[in-house]
Structure 1
Amino acid sequence: MPDPQTDTATQKSQGLEEAFDLFIEASKALEAQQAVLQGQLNELSSQLIAANSRLSSLLNSLPAGVILAEHDQLIDFNPAAAHFIPELTKGMPWKIPGTWKSSNSPGDHLRRQDDKQQTTQIYEVKAGITGAAGEHSRQLADKQQILQILEVKTGARSVIQIQDISSAIANRAEEERMSRLTAMGKMSAGIAHQLRTPLSTALLYASHLADQNITDDQKQLFADRLRKQLISLEKLASNMLLFLKQRPQQTTPVAVHELLEEACQAAQGLSQERNIELKLSLECPHTLVNVEKHSIISAFVAILENAIQVSEPGQLVEISCHDQPNQTEIIIEDYGPGIAENMMDTIFEPFSSGRVTGNGLGLSIARSNIESHRGQILVSNRPNGGARFTISLPSLTEL
C-alpha cells in the first residue's frame, strides 16, 4: 500500500514547483512590462528634454520678457526680462520698484533712466490690463519705451509677462492724429459756415460803430454785440484747437467726486439761467483716476451743457458714478426729448448739432478728451425719455 504521508509530500512538492514556475513566469512578464515601461519612460524623458530645450530656446528668443515666481519669489526668467529689468536675480521677491511713478491707468508706472545716459527713456509699465499710453506726446516717441506687464497667478505660482508695445502705441497715436487731420479736412465746409455767420455779423456791428450819426447808447449797444460775436469766434477757434489737441501731457491722481463737483460748478451758471437742477449722486467717494484734470472737467462740462440746453425749465440733470472692476463709470442723464435716431450715429462727429445755436464741437471734444485717457463714452436714450451719456475711465486703487 502506498504511504499516505509520502503522497502528501509529493503533492506539496509538485504544488510548490508549479507555484514557483508561475512565479518565474509572472516575474518574466513583469520584467518584460518593466522593460517596455522603461523604454516608454526613456522615450518620454527624451521627448521632455527636447521639448524643454525647444521651450527654452523659444523663451530665450522671445522679445517679451517672461518671469516665473513662486510664493512671490523669482524662480527663473528669460534674457528679455533681464533686459527690461536688469536688477532681476533669482530668489529675489517680485515687486514693482518703488522708484517707478504711477501713470494714468490701474497698475501703470513710469520709470525714467539716469539723465547721464545717452538716451533718456520713459518706461511705462502696465500691470493687469492692456491699453494705450495716452499721456505721452508723439514728440517723445523716440525717447520712451512702453512696457506692458501681465501677471497670471495659479495658486502660489505666478507667470509674469513683460512686452514692449512702444511701436504699437506710437502707431496708434499717429493713426489718431491722422484721423483728426482727416476729420478737419472733411470739416472745411462746416468751418467756413460756422465762421461766416458770426464774422458777417461782427463786420455789420463794426460798420455801425463807424457811423457818425448814431448815438452813444447805440454805439454801446453795437459794441456789446460786436464783443459777443468776437467771443463766439474766439470760442469756436479754441474748440477747433482743442479738437486737434494731442494726448494729455501731465496727469495726476484726482478723486472722481472732485472732478464732478468742479464740472457741476462750472455748469451752474447755465443751469441757474435755465432753471435746471443739477443732482449729483456719488457712489464712489474715494475712487481716484489719473487724468489731466482740466481736460476731463471740460469733457464733463460739455456733456452737462448739452444736457442743460435740451432740458425744459424745472427739469433735472442727474449725475452719478459707480465703481466697476478697474474702472469708474459716470452717468449723466437728462429728461429732455432724447436724441433723434438719425443723429445717434453722428452725435460725436464735429459740427453735428441738433440745436440752431450749437456749433457741434462740444461733444466731439468731450469724446476726444475721454478717449485720450483710455476711457470710453457711450450715448443712449432713456426708456422714459431723455438722453443718457455713460463715461468709463480707468480707476486707481481706492484710498
Structure 2
Amino acid sequence: MQILQTANASLKLVPPVAVEPVAIAIETLPVSAPTAGDKGKDLKNAFDMFNEMSQQLTDSYFLLENRVAELNQELSTVATQRMQELAEKEKIANRLENLLNFLPGGVVVLDSSGRISECNPAAIDLLGEPLQGELWRDVILRSFAPRKDDGHEVSLHDGRRISISTRNQGEDGQIILLTDQTETRRLQSQLSRHERLSAMGKMMSALAHQIRTPLSAAMLYAGHLCSNKLDDVKRQQFSEKICNRLNNIERQVQDMLVFAKGELPLKDVITVNELQIALAEAMEVPLMTTNSLALWHNDCGEHVIECNREALIGALLNLVNNAIQAVERHAKLRITFTLTQPKKQNEHPQLMIAVCDFGPGIPAELLPNLGELFVTTKAQGTGLGLAVVKAVAHAHHGNFNLQSTHGQGTCASLFMPFALLEKSSNR
C-alpha cells in the first residue's frame, strides 16, 4: 500500500501558479515518475518480508505447540506420581489406624490447646467416654485417683494402675501413651509372694536353730531365777539377760513376718529428725554392750516421710547390728541422712539413709548376692537380715544398695523416692 501511495503521489501535477502580467518565460517543475522495475522490486521485497515473517510465526507456533505437549506430559506424569503417593499415604494411614485400634495400650493425641484430637479404643476403655474434643486436664480430674503407694504409676477411679509416657509434637501438641499395669503388678506380687513362701520353707530349719539358741539361754536364766539362794544383784542380771534373749527372738520372728508379707502399709508420717531419734534409741543397747560409737549426719531433718515406722527402724537396726558385728567390738559407725540429686531429667531427689562401718569389708565374690536368703558372711547366719532390708526398701518404693572395699569397710544404703517426701511446712 505504501508503494502504491508513493506512485500516486508521483503522478500528481504541480498546481498552476498565478503570475503577474509580465512578459516572462513560464517554466514547469520537473516530475520524475517511478519506473515499472522499481515498483516490482518493492512488491517483491514486501512479499519476501511477509513470507519470512509467516515462516517465523509458523516455526514459533510449532515450537510452542511442542512445548505445551511436553508440559502436558510432565504435568500428567507428576499428577500420576502424586496420585500414587496419595494412595500410598492413605494405605499407611489406614494401617496406622488399624494398628492404633488393636494396640493394647491407650494412645491419646493432644492438639496445641490441650484438647484430645485423637484416641484409640484402649484409651477409651481406660479413661471412659467422652474423650474426643475434651480437655486433657478435665479427663485427669474425671478419671484419675492418685494413691500414696502409686510410685511411678497412677491409679484410676476403678482401681486399675497405668503408666504414662509422653512425647511432644513440637508446637502442635503431644502424644500420650497409657499402659495398663494392673495385671502385671498382680502377677509380680503373686510371684514374689510364692518365692518368699518357698524361701521361708527352705529356711525353717536354719531359723529354728537361730531361735533355739536364745530360747535355751532364756530358759536357763529363768531356771536360775527360781532359786531362793539368788541375791538381788544376780536376779537383776539374769532378768536383763532373759529380756535380751527374748528381744532377740522377737526381732527374728518380726523379720520373718516382714519378709513373708513383702508389702507394708505406709501409715506413719514422721520427719527425718524423728526417724533419727527413734533409731538412736533402738541402737542404745547394741552400742552400749559392744562399746561402739555412732557418728550422725543429717542435712534433711525437716523433710517428712510416709513410712511404716516399726518396719523401717527394724531394717535400719539390722544394718547397724551387721556393721557392729563386722568390727566385733569398739565399732565406729557413720550414719547419714541425705537427699540425693537426680541423675536424669525426669527423676526426682531421693532420701538416702546410709550405715557405714570401718571394718574388714565384704569379699568381692559375695557382694553381688548379699541380700538373698542363705547368702551371708556369718558362720551361723541365714541372710534373713539383709533380705528383710531389701523387702522393706521395696515396700517403701525404694531400693537397697551395698558397697564394700576390702580392708576399708562397708556402706549399706537405703533409698526412698522423692514421691514419698514433703517439706514439713506442707504437713
Residue 177 of structure 1 is matched in structure 2 by 193
Q: In the TM superposition, what is the alpha-carbon distance from 1:307 to its structure 2 partner?
A: 3.2
Matched with 1:385 is: 408
Partner of 1:235: 251
Displacement of 1:205 in angstroms is 2.3
Deviation at 1:216, TM superposition (A): 5.4
Q: Which sits farther off after the overlay, 77-86 or 245-254?
A: 245-254
Contact (CA 8 Å) 1:106, 1:395: kept in 2 or not?
no
Alignment of 1:83-122 (within 5 A): 83-95=125-137, 96-97=140-141, 100-105=145-150, 108-112=153-157, 121-122=158-159
The question of 1:249 aligning with 2:259 is answered no
* Structure ID, larger Rg: 2
User: Do the aligned residues in 2 keep the contact of 1:296 with 1:369 (CA within 8 Å)?
Assistant: yes
Change (3 A) 1:289 1:216: closer
Aligned equivalents of 1:329 and 1:193: distance in 2? 37
- Residue 328 of structure 1: which of 350, 354, 370 is its match? 350
> Paired residue for 2:23?
none
8 Å contact 1:105–1:394 — kept in the other structure?
A: no
Matched, 1:66 2:107: yes
C-alpha distance in 2 between matches for 1:337 and 1:215:
43
Give TM-score, length-normalised by structure 1: 0.77
> Which of 161, 173, 176 is equivalent to 1:146?
161
Residue-by-residue CA offset, 1:118-164 (whole Å, 9 max, x unaligned): xxx42xxxxxxxxxxxxxxxxxxxxxx22222222232321112222
Aligned to 1:46: 87
* Secondary structure at the counterpart of residue 389 of structure 1: strand
Q: Write out per-residue CA displacement over residues 181-210 of structure 1, whole angstroms, 9 at most, x where no aligned residue.
A: 121122123112202211222232233334
Offset, 1:33: 2.3
Deviation at 1:351, TM superposition (A): 5.6
Give the whole-Å Cα distance in 2 for the aligned partners of 1:321 and 1:41.
Answer: 59
1:201 equivalent in structure 2? 217
Confirm or deny: 8 A CA contact 1:104 1:289 kept in the other structure.
Answer: no
Hey, what does 1:116 align to over in structure 2?
Answer: none
- The residue identity in structure 2 corresponding to 1:151 is T
Stretch deviating more after TM superposition (215-224 or 241-250): 215-224
Per the TM alignment, residue 57 of structure 1 is displaced from its structure 2 partner at its CA by 2.5
Paired residues of 1:105 and 1:289 also in contact (CA < 8 A): no
Structure 2 residue matching 1:89: 3-state secondary structure:
coil
Query: Which residue does 1:79 correspond to in 2?
Result: 121
Cα distance in 2 for residues equivalent to 1:63 and 1:199: 56
Residue from 359, 363, 369 that aligns with 1:340: 363
Equivalent residue for 1:115?
none
Q: CA deviation at 1:390?
A: 3.7
Cα distance between partner residues in 2 of 1:5 and 1:318: 116
List per-residue Cα deviations over 1:30-84 (Å, max 9, x = no partner). 2222222222222222232233223222322333211100222211112221221
Q: Which has the higher contact order (CA 8 A, sep 6+)?
A: 1
SS of structure 2 residue aligned to 1:170 = helix
Measure how far apart 1:265 and its partner are. 3.5
Is the Cα–Cα contact under 8 Å of residues 67 and 77 in structure 1 kept in the other structure?
Answer: yes
1: CA distance between counterparts of 2:151 and 2:404? Answer: 31
C-alpha distance in 1, partners of 2:267/2:339?
21
1:291, 1:6 → 2: CA distance?
A: 112
Q: In the superposition, relative to structure 1, how do residues 198 and 300 fare at CA in structure 2: closer, same or farther (>3 Å)?
A: closer
More strand per residue = 1
Separation in 2, partners of 1:258, 1:16: 102
User: Contact 2:361 / 2:406 at 8 angstroms: preserved in 1?
Assistant: no
In 2, distance between residues paired with 1:335 and 1:6? 120
Letter of the aligned partner of 2:366 in structure 1? M
- Write the deviation string for residues 311-369 of structure 1: whole angstroms up to 9, x where unpaired: 57484504233121235162623333222335323431346554689774332211111
Percentage of matched positions with identical amino acids? 24
SS at match of 2:135: coil
Structure 1, 380-389 or 230-239: larger mean CA deviation: 380-389
Determine the C-alpha separation between the residues in 2 that align with 1:374 and 1:163.
19
- Deviation, 1:18, is 3.2
Mark the CA change 1:166 to 1:16 in structure 2 (over 3 Å): closer, same or farther.
same
* Letter of the 2:116 counterpart: L
Give the letter aligned to residue 34 of structure 1: L
For 2:314 and 2:102, how far apart are their aligned partners in 1? 47
| Secondary structure class of the residue paired with 2:368 | coil
Unaligned ranges ≥5, structure 1 = 113-120, 123-144
Q: 1:18 maps to which residue?
A: 59
Letter in 1 for 2:127: I
One-letter amino acid of the counterpart of residue 392, structure 2: N
Distance 1:199 1:109, change over 3 A: same
- Is the alpha carbon distance of 1:290 and 1:214 closer, same or farther for their aligned partners in structure 2, counting shifts above 3 Å? closer
Contact 2:404 2:411 in 1 (8 A): yes
Q: State how far apart, in whole Å, the 2-side matches of 1:231 and 1:80 are.
A: 54
SS at structure 2 position matched to 1:341: coil
Structure 2, unpaired ranges of 5+: 1-40
2: CA distance, partners of 1:317 / 1:391: 14
Task: Identify if the C-alpha distance between structure 1 residues 309 and 46 changes in structure 2 by more than 3 Å, giving closer, same or farther.
Answer: same
Aligned residue runs from structure 1 range 370-381, under 5 A: 370-381=393-404
Cα distance, 1:300 vs. partner? 3.5
Q: TM-score, normalised by structure 2?
A: 0.73
Q: Whose helix proportion is higher, 1 or 2? A: 2
